[in-house]
Structure 1
Amino acid sequence: MPKQILITDPTLRDGNHAVGHKLGAEAFIAYCKAAEAANVPIIEVGHGNGLGGSSMLVGESRLSDPEIFRISREHLINTRLAIHVIPGFCTIKKDLSKAVELGVDVFRIAAHCTEADVTQRHIGYVRESGKEAWGILMMTHMASPEVLLEEARKMESYGAQAIVIMDSAGAQMVDDVKARISALVGGLSIPVGFHGHNNLGMAVINSVTAVNEGATILDGTIRGFGAGAGNTQLEVLVGILHKLGYDTGIDLFKILDAATMAEKELGFIAPSISPISIVSGLAGVFSGFAKPVARAAAEFGVDPRDVFFRLGERKAVAGQESLIIEVAKELAAKQ
């Protein structure tokens, strides 16, 4: 029997970064229908920064979270509905409870790679509500395999039913992925997954590496739509996994149809590895910072590459957008 790989598709969440969080109802409906037709098992939807992420600081969403959940739920029958949850952006009482009420199936509770403690209450609430909770560790190039395992074990103890590590900056090489995935697979009793970004062109090979090291969950977005240089390109990933003998349950031709539809009919522009994306990956800075860095650099008359490398030195993470302005000001003052 071929080894089963569970694919989660965050096109309608991470892809929202690529369009300034402005995906409209028509995009959610069209892509949910296409993904459902292709037998994609899980679709993740929402603002790019997840539940409660819409704000002036990180970008306001065109649709509210409840609108997104209602629209998506209506057009998904066999495909499960997932959301990204970062404690601090959302509240349990207002946001998380509403998501449960509106039929979200899988809650991916995320934290910076060394801050798993903040997920305990959220994971506990989701499990008590009878829903599926995964632990997500972000920016994992910033922690050693040993530290990641320690943090992942915390999430497992809180009730997480899977752990996914994110290469949020697209900074990891094959050996980095090998070390991290093998440590987690060997040290946990729940499934392990990988979420790649393509800043250095490594997203697909890193995802395959993760599977070869024992991961059974992979993230991928159609045409690679996502922050910065984009995510692991879903239709490429599915084709390669099938070629290698893995079973995703996804219809290859129909996911290829979804890729054609997404670019032609939804107005998406497929991401590419731009010079600034390469710098983001080399600096180890969150891919979603590309646009705010460009704006700040232009405003203060500094080189965006310098901003990225300075942010990397200061170990900036998602949610610290205000630090971009601070760094740009500092660089301008030194000129």
Structure 2
Amino acid sequence: MTRLFILDVTLRDGMHAIRHQYDLGHVREIAGALDEAGVDGIEVGHGDGLDGSSIAYGFSRHTDIAYIREAAKVCKRAKLTTVLLPGIGTIDDLKRARDAGIQSIRIATHSTEADVSEQHIAAAKEMGLDVSGFLMMSSANSADGLAGQARLMESYGADCIYVADSAGGLTMRSIAERFRAFDAVLNADTQRAIHAHENLSLSVANSVTAVENGATRVDASLAGMGAGAGNCPIEAFVAVANLYGWEHGCDLFKLQDAADDLVRPIQDRPVRVDRETLTLGYGNVYSSFLRHAEKAAEQFDLDPRAILIEIGRRRLIGGQEDMIVDVALDLVERANA
């Protein structure tokens, strides 16, 4: 099989787990450890992508450019990447990120809105970047519907298309269905990729299923650091990949050391499957909503699970974080009726 490309998202998706508060020392230490451990790519920046630092998504401690430059100081071999969500980040933001050291970009849209990515994918290709189309909340679209969106991103020039299970709500069967649907419409040389979340405790299994169905790029993070119950833990996935005999460039023990020594000590909320994060996957809720829902639950004396289930029922998507307080107020009104 093709050698796997392992991309670590600790310094981007992992931002959500600590409310985007990595300091530059964290970035330098973690990026350096990942580079030393042999990962192929390291993603850096605000959890919601370039220019995501805002009142809506949460202010980060430093700018995206400062984070990228800090990682670039210590990366000797890994390719630096970041995420851009059209409507949040701009092409000018992308240019600044490239100048700071980014070599690869993931243009992310909701799983039914790939058409908004056309100009950003085209601009990134003109800049000479490696470009992935990143279909967030892939569980919110059917396999065939998602494949149609993937085909659009490919037609715009994307080199790789991601099934991004942002809610951690997909199972092995639904992962396989989506990659088979990709095979029916995508060119053979367009790479396939998986971004799994742990909310149903299936991130490693789903990543393995994706590889078995053609994915060659796998997202993961140290200690699973990420939104909700976290991402696919890189040390666990690499251990399984070793057992399968899959080719990759990662050193398992170095990843274990980085996870336990550098990442777990800075988690202010344990990144794990618990009653709230399991509810994210069960209710098909965007993982980044967790901390916002917990804050609203504390403010209005509600069970955060009730908020999360209602968010799932209303099918809220990334960018609608401000609606979570409205959901909480509606639940209070309903309880007092």
Q: TM-score range by the shorter chain?
A: over 0.9
Distance in 1 (CA, whole Å) between partners of 2:77 and 2:283 is 40
Match of 1:248, as an amino acid?
Answer: H
Q: How many corresponding residue pairs? A: 333
2:151 match: 153
- Look up the equivalent residue of 2:132 and give its one-letter code: W
After TM superposition, the structure 1 = structure 2 runs for residues 200-239 of structure 1, keeping only pairs within 5 Å, are: 200-239=200-239
Any conservation in 2 of the 1:87–1:110 contact (CA below 8 Å)?
A: yes
Percent of paired sites with the same residue: 38
Instruction: Show structure 2 runs of 5+ residues with no match.
Output: none
Is the 2:148–2:185 contact (alpha carbons within 8 Å) kept by the matching residues of 1?
A: no
Kindly tell me: are residues 98 and 170 of structure 1, through their superposed partners in 2, closer, same or farther at Cα, counting changes over 3 Å?
A: same
Task: State whether residues 7 and 220 of structure 2, in contact with CA within 8 Å, keep that contact through their aligned partners in structure 1.
Answer: yes
Q: Secondary structure at the match of 2:53?
A: coil
CA distance in 1 between partners of 2:45 and 2:320 (Å):
20
Structure-2 residue corresponding to 1:18? 17
Write the letter of the residue equivalent to 1:106. Answer: S
Q: Whole-Å Cα distance in 2 between the matches of residues 47 and 202 of structure 1? A: 25
AA at the equivalent of 1:247: E
The CA distance in 2 between the partners of 1:156 and 1:231, in whole Å, is 25
Q: Secondary structure at the match of 2:21?
A: coil
**Which residue in the other structure is 1:92 paired with?**
91
Q: Is the 8 A contact 1:199 1:281 kept in 2?
A: yes
Work out whether residues 263 and 269 of structure 1, in 8 Å CA contact, stay in contact via their aligned partners in 2.
no
The superposition leaves residues 163-182 of structure 1 with CA deviations (integer Å, 9 ceiling, x where unpaired) of 01111011111111110112
1:1-12 matches, within 5 Å, as 3-12=2-11
Runs of 4+ in 1 over 4 A off after TM superposition: 264-270
Q: CA separation in 1, counterparts of 2:307 and 2:252?
A: 41
Counterpart contact for 1:27–1:266, Cα < 8 Å: no
Letter in 2 for 1:75: V
Match in the other structure for 1:107: 105
Alignment of 1:256-267 (within 5 A): 256-263=256-263, 266=266
Assess if the C-alpha contact under 8 Å between 2:86 and 2:116 holds in 1.
yes
1:10-66 per-residue CA deviation (whole Å, 9 max, x = no partner) reads: 110011111110000011100111011111110001111111100111110001011
Q: Structure 2: which amino acid aligns with 1:155?
A: M
Q: 1:164 to 1:29 in 2, by over 3 A?
A: same
Give structure 1 stretches of 5+ with no counterpart. Answer: none
* Structure 1 residue 269: Cα displacement: 6.2
Aligned partner (choices 129, 135, 140) of residue 131 of structure 1: 129
Residue 322 of structure 2 aligns to a residue in which SS?
A: helix
Contact kept? 1:140, 1:166, Cα under 8 Å: yes
For 1:262-281, what aligned pairs fall within 5 Å after superposition?
A: 262-263=262-263, 266=266, 270-281=270-281
AA in 1 matched with 2:6: I
- AA of the residue aligned to 2:168: G
TM-score (norm 2): 0.96
Aligned-partner residue type, residue 50 of structure 2: L
Q: CA RMSD in A?
A: 1.4
Looking at structure 1, the residues matched to 330 and 271 of structure 2 have their Cα atoms a distance apart, in angstroms, of 30
Query: So what's the TM-score if we normalise by structure 1?
Result: 0.96
